[in-house]
Amino acid sequence: MSGTTVLLKEKNFYEESSGLFSWIFTMDHKRIALLYLYAIMTFFLVGMTLGFIMRLELFAPGGQLMDPKTYNQMFTFHGVIMIFLVIIPSIPAVFGNFMLPIMLGTDDVALPKLNLFSWWLYIIGAVMALSTLFWGNGSADTGWTFYAPYSVTSETNVSMLLLAAFVLGFSSILTGLNFIVTIHRLRAPGMTWFKMPLFAWGLYATAWIQLLATPIVGITLLMVVVERTFGIGLFDPSLGGDPVLYQHLFWIYSHPVVYVMILPAMGIISEIIPTAAQRVIFGYKAIAISSMAIAFLGYFVWGHHMFTSGMSGEARIVFSFVTFLVAIPTAIKVFNWIATLYKGSIHITPNLLWASAFIFNFLIGGLTGLINGALAADVHVHDTTYIVAHFHYTMFGGTIFVFFGGLHYWFPKIWGRMYNMKLANVALALTFVGFNITYGAMLTVGVHGMPRRYYDYLPEFEFLNKVSTIGSWVMVTGLLLMIYNLMRSARKGEIATRNPWNGVTLEWQVPSPPPLHNFDHKPILSPNGPYDFGILDQVNALDEKRK
């Protein structure tokens, strides 16, 4: 394509139309992505504030700021917001929506109207969830896990929160459905399955989990609502039911959902690292297949959340065994990322730093997970803050860190501007250090025996709790700094070049920000796959062709 066509400079997608209705009724995947982004960031701040306040309460033994019931409501709402409104949609709904069509070489998802509908379902679910704060006995106090029998008997707004989760689940299912169809049908001519970027593979594996696992929790939450209304005894032993059955049904979804959270994040890491190292990723096929393997195996390990609940010994052994298996494809990815960096031409960017922070955090999260998966060890740590720290290391230090990393990586593409690098690095450092102090202390005090979801604790746990709380202050400072940097730079940052990180995947070939239909030229695809830096010169020459 060298020097043949002169390409017209098009309007970017922001300039196509303006006004509120052109956004909330848009079918442009890029606008939908941003609609999700603003909602998700808002809910993240709400959830973060709840967490911050809880850590204040835990600064010292005894009650400081609230009574125990309020504390229960806080950690319930914190969990529901963070899990259903933030983490699960985060990467797929924001970066999946924005980048997937572009990275596949097309102009939108396969079912654009369904995409808009997904967003509306998300907003409706969010409003339903938030409403529970303002009437009756306030937000549910059952924990985000809604275990029976308390979720059946609690007099707080459990039913509404469950219905909100049902609606949000439906939003997630439809997004997954859309991505599966998009990946099957809309890849650019010449882009075979094994020439797709790894972010697409991550989203594909994720979409299958969203599709198949979510309906089960949907019906389970409905069962609890019906149980609250009719009192059948589905989960009530005095009426012949089994509370552990609820746990089975709940975790059949809620374990796979953690892979919904992490697979897209790993997909982003597989994008950031080749660009940072300026070389092809190591073991492309292994990473692609391991994404599918993680999705597959992840369906069969849910019982590891229930080791102390009363399952049979035989069941516990099966679940523990498969839990260890699922660590293998994950490890393969980590080794491949590190191998990619080896002898690469490394550019230290905030993207790479966030990615490195992720690898560090996820290593701790994953390894502590293995300890939880060991039957005997789990008896000791189950329901302690060790577990809380474990899942914050994976979900927060994992998924959310990568969400922020992706935000820094694709920022110039989305807003056409660059952020302040120095501020970005300072923010990251504060966040990373604060995070590890907060949750490192939590791991430790959990092993020492501090239970989770307790609003009070024994005096011997006080020091580590103080450390953890102070760590949270450092972390929040870093996060607020990061948000300030990004928000300011989106409006006033330096205009970005089209390919500031010298990437070779398709999103770096389109203008920053992209025009409505994404591509103003035929995508340049290498026959060697998506990470062939041999085409970098061709990609960077695209700018000369635009008037």
Partner 1 sequence: MKNVSNLDNMGHYKIPNSGHNRDDEAKKLGMWLFLFTEILLFGGLFFVYAIYRFKYFDEFKIIAEHMSITLGAINTVVLIASSLTVAMSITAMKKGKDNVAVLLIFITILFAMTFMVNKYFEWSDHIHHGLFMGADAFNNLAKGEGMFLFLYYFMTGLHGLHIIVGAILLGIVAYKIMNGSVNQDKLVFHENAGLYWHLVDLIWIYLFPLFYLLH
Partner 2 sequence: MSDHSHSPSYKSDLITFGILMVLTALTIWASYATGGTTVLAVSVAMGIASIKATFVVRNFMHIKYDDVIYKIFIGLVILLFASFIVMLAVDYAYR
Which tokens go with 191? 């882009």
User: Position of tokens 């002898």?
Assistant: 343
Q: Which is nearer to partner 2, 113 or 185 (CB)?
A: 185
Local structure of 304: helix, strand or coil? helix
CB-based contacts of 514, cutoff 8 Å, min separation 6:
12, 13, 30, 102, 413, 507
Q: Which is nearer to partner 1, 404 or 519 (CB)?
A: 519
Q: Which is nearer to partner 2, 314 or 537 (CB)?
A: 314
Q: Which residues pair with 494 in a beta bridge?
A: 418
192 binds partner 2 (CB under 8 A): no
Among 15, 38, 153, 239, binds partner 1 (CB under 8 A): 239
Q: Which is nearer to partner 2, 184 or 285 (CB)?
A: 184
Sketch the per residue contact string, 74 through 113, with partner 2: x for CB under 8 A, - otherwise. Answer: ----------------------------------------
Taking alpha carbons only, the member of 300, 294, 295, 282 closest to residue 329 is: 294
149 binds partner 1 (CB under 8 A): no
Among 136, 310, 345, 484, binds partner 2 (CB under 8 A): 310
Torsion, CA 110, CA 91, CA 157, CA 159, rounded to 10: 40
Which tokens go with 394? 């994976």
Q: Tell how many helices (H) and how many strands (E) occur in the chain.
A: 20, 2
Q: Which does 226 bind (CB under 5 to 8 A by kind): partner 1, partner 2, none?
A: partner 1
Q: Which is nearer to partner 2, 212 or 447 (CB)?
A: 212
CB 354 within 8 A of CB 501: no
Q: Which does 315 bind (CB under 5 to 8 A by kind): partner 1, partner 2, none?
A: partner 2
* Helix, strand, coil percentages, rounded to 5, for the chain: 70, 0, 30
Taking alpha carbons only, the member of 543, 547, 532, 529 closest to residue 192 is: 529
Sketch the per residue contact string, 469 through 508, with partner 1: x for CB under 8 A, - otherwise. Answer: ----------------------------------------
- Smallest gap from Cβ 137 to partner 2, in A, equals 34
Which span (97-105, 348-356, 388-396, 412-420) binds partner 1, by CB under 8 A? 97-105
Which tokens go with 495? 């205009």
Local structure of 134: helix, strand or coil? coil
186 binds partner 2 (CB under 8 A): no
Q: How many residues bind partner 2 (CB under 8 A)?
A: 15
Q: How far is CA 421 from CA 330, 356, 498, in A?
A: 31, 16, 17
- Smallest gap from Cβ 314 to partner 2, in A, equals 4
**Interatomic CA distance for residues 102 and 116, integer angstroms:** 18
Q: Which does 26 bind (CB under 5 to 8 A by kind): partner 2, partner 1, none?
A: none
Which tokens go with 268? 């982003």
Beta strands, E only, 383-426: 417-418
According to CB under 8 A, which residues from 213 to 272 bind partner 2? 244, 248, 252
Q: Which does 107 bind (CB under 5 to 8 A by kind): partner 2, partner 1, none?
A: partner 1
Sketch the per residue contact string, 158 through 187, with partner 1: x for CB under 8 A, - otherwise. Answer: ---------------x---xx-xxx-xxxx
Which span (192-200, 319-327, 334-342, 516-524) binds partner 1, by CB under 8 A? 516-524
Q: Which does 188 bind (CB under 5 to 8 A by kind): partner 2, partner 1, none?
A: partner 1
- Smallest gap from Cβ 205 to partner 1, in A, equals 15
Q: How many residues bind partner 1 (CB under 8 A)?
A: 59
Q: How far is CA 388 from CA 75, 256, 307, in A?
A: 11, 18, 16
Q: Which amino acid is at 123?
A: I
Local structure of 63: helix, strand or coil? coil
DSSP 228-249: HHH---SS-GGGT--HHHHHHH
Among 89, 96, 303, 416, binds partner 2 (CB under 8 A): 303
Q: Which is nearer to partner 2, 321 or 484 (CB)?
A: 321
- Smallest gap from Cβ 318 to partner 2, in A, equals 6
**Interatomic CA distance for residues 69 and 151, integer angstroms:** 14
CB 162 within 8 A of CB 219: no
Q: Which is nearer to partner 2, 77 or 319 (CB)?
A: 319
CB-based contacts of 314, cutoff 8 Å, min separation 6:
none
CB-based contacts of 515, cutoff 8 Å, min separation 6:
10, 11, 12, 13
Q: Which does 239 bind (CB under 5 to 8 A by kind): partner 1, partner 2, none?
A: partner 1
Residues that bind partner 2 (CB under 8 A): 184, 212, 244, 248, 252, 299-300, 303, 310-315, 318
Residues that bind partner 1 (CB under 8 A): 4-8, 10, 29, 101, 104-112, 114, 173, 177-178, 180-182, 184-189, 211-216, 218-220, 223, 226, 230-234, 239-242, 245, 248-249, 517-522
